[in-house]
């Protein structure tokens, strides 16, 4: 999953819906919700990307990328452990049981 967001997904989605309904400006909405207007702008931009209205990396793709990077780090650590174990046993000329 993506980074730990300060605001729940439902809250962000509802804020974008409120803005898209056209009843309130971005600054007024930000003030009502108690968040920065740049935060609202980021949520709106990401919603446009997710809806295919704007080019960019979708939320789903970003989550998958994060998961894959985490898996790569885990595999690299496992590989390093195996290399060190092989080097240790080769140096000691000892076979593991």
CATH number of the domain at 25, please.
1.10.10.10
Same domain? For 2 and 23 the reply is: yes
Same domain? For 71 and 44 the reply is: no
Average pLDDT over residues 29-42: 95
Same domain? For 38 and 51 the reply is: yes
Calculate what percentage of the chain has a pLDDT beyond 70: 92
Two structure tokens written together for 14: 């509802």
Same domain? For 63 and 47 the reply is: no
Confidence of residue 15 (pLDDT cuts 50, 70, 90): very high
Residue-number span of the structural domain to which 79 is assigned: 59-97
Give the count of domains, the chain. 2
Same domain? For 36 and 66 the reply is: no
Give the H or E element holding residue 86.
helix 59-92
Write down the mean pLDDT value for the chain: 90
- Does residue 2 carry a pLDDT above 50? no
Task: Quickly count: other Cβ atoms within 10 Å of residue 12's Cβ.
Answer: 21
57-91 pLDDT tens trace: 999 999 999 999 999 999 999 999 999 999 988 88
């Amino acid at each position: 999953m993506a980074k730990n967001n300060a605001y729940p997904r439902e809250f962000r989605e509802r804020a974008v819906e409120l803005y898209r309904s056209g009843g309130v400006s971005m600054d007024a909405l930000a003030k009502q919700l108690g968040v920065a207007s740049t935060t609202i702008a980021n949520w709106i931009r990401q919603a446009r990307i997710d809806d295919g209205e704007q080019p960019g990396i979708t939320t789903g793709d970003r989550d998958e990328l994060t998961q894959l990077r985490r898996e790569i780090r885990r595999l690299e650590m496992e590989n390093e452990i195996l290399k060190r174990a092989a080097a240790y046993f080769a140096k000691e000329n000892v076979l593991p049981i």
